[in-house]
Amino acid sequence: MVQLDAARTVARFDDPGFIRTEMDGLSDAQVWWKNISFDKTTGRGSYLMKMAPGTRSNPHTHTGTEEFFVLEGDLTDHDGFSYRSGDFVSLAAGSSHFSRTKTGCLLVVTHHGATKAIDESEL
């Protein structure tokens, strides 16, 4: 049996170690993440995300469900639907979007499958 202290990961938004996310075509994007359990190979797991004011994500399609909780700030999807602090969001497998924030936001994100980059014209 694995000892609980060896199996536990705890992270906070004020912890050091957030890494700036590289997004194709968005070299100025101010988006940082801190991995909790996300596996890039499977596209499954969770991470903390910080988006600076005026930032957006790349357009992408979900091969599995994406869920996120907005802890702080605002987030608006490309179709104009806005999320705010306290919203828990679940986007079904096969859904496509990109999001932007006016004031910045803090998100807890969980993926249940990989994402595939798409062109904005595909939305």
Give the CA distances from residue 109 to residues 14, 75, 78, 79, 121, in Å, rounded to whole numbers and listed in that order: 17, 13, 18, 20, 25
Each residue of 90-123: pLDDT tens digit? 999 999 999 999 999 999 999 999 999 899 999 9
Each residue of 71-89: pLDDT tens digit? 999 999 999 999 999 999 9
pTM to 2 decimal places: 0.91
End-to-end CA distance of the chain: 47
- Token code pair at residue 27: 């070299």
Give 105's contacts (C-beta < 8 A, 6+ positions apart).
50, 51, 70, 71, 72, 73, 74, 75
